[in-house]
Structure formats: C-alpha cells, structure tokens
Amino acid sequence: MSTTQIIREYLTQQCLEVYFADILGRDVDPSKTTKLAMVCAQRGLAPAECAFITDTLGDLLEAAAAGVPTIAVTWGYHTAETLARGNPTAVVHTPDQLRDVFIALVEKT
C-alpha cells in the first residue's frame, strides 16, 4: 500500500492520472473500507452505485465490507482462484472484458 504522492507520481509517469478523480493512499486512511465509504459519500452515491476494481483478495473483502460491488482482474497480484474466494461481482481476464463488465454495471444503476 503506497502513499497518495507515490501513487500520483506513478500514474503521472504512465500518463494515467487524468483518468482518476480521487487518489487515496495509505496516508489518507489505511482502510480501503473507510476510503470507499468516503468516496461514495463525497460523490453522493450509495455504495451499490459504485464499483471497485482490484487484483487482490484483501481488497475484495474490504469492498464487500463497504457494500461496494467489485470487479476482480486476473492479470495482477492474485490468481483467479484466489480472487474467487472474495466473491467478486465479476472476474475479468482482459482489459476488454473489464470495459464491458464496467459498462454493464454502470448501466444497471
């Protein structure tokens, strides 16, 4: 888990920072459950109206505690089998699948 500044620097180096409205590292709060609740509240959204994309089982469990639907990506830290133990809303294996699943979730709300 990194600080907001480290995450921001990495995203800037990769020309990705423009795609994120909020960047919250461990310096904001070590709990992703708390940070997810913060972001939902700041945006005036119910947790069910949000989605959390992750590559770790721990993140899936924290998002579940916050009531936020999850999309697990299999090209990161944990295997698909490990991610499945977190009961994600969806498991995706490619960026194209991620796009399609995310769009489908957004259209449901």
- Cut 0.95: pTM above it: no
Question: What is the CATH number for 75?
Answer: 3.40.50.1000
What is the tally of structural domains in the chain?
1
The verdict on residue 72 lying in a domain is: yes
Residue burial 50-63, b: 16+ Cβ < 10 Å; e: rest: bbbbbbbbebbebb
Indicate whether 41 belongs to any domain.
no
* Residue 32 lies inside a defined structural domain of this protein: no
Residue 5 resides in a domain:
no
How does pLDDT run along the chain (109 residues), one tens digit per residue?
Answer: 689 999 999 989 988 888 888 889 999 999 999 999 999 999 999 999 988 999 999 999 999 999 999 999 999 999 999 999 999 999 999 989 998 998 887 787 6
Residue type, 43: R
The boundaries of the domain holding residue 82 are 46-108
- Per the domain annotation, does 99 fall within a domain? yes
What pLDDT, on a 0 to 100 scale, did the predictor assign at position 35? 94
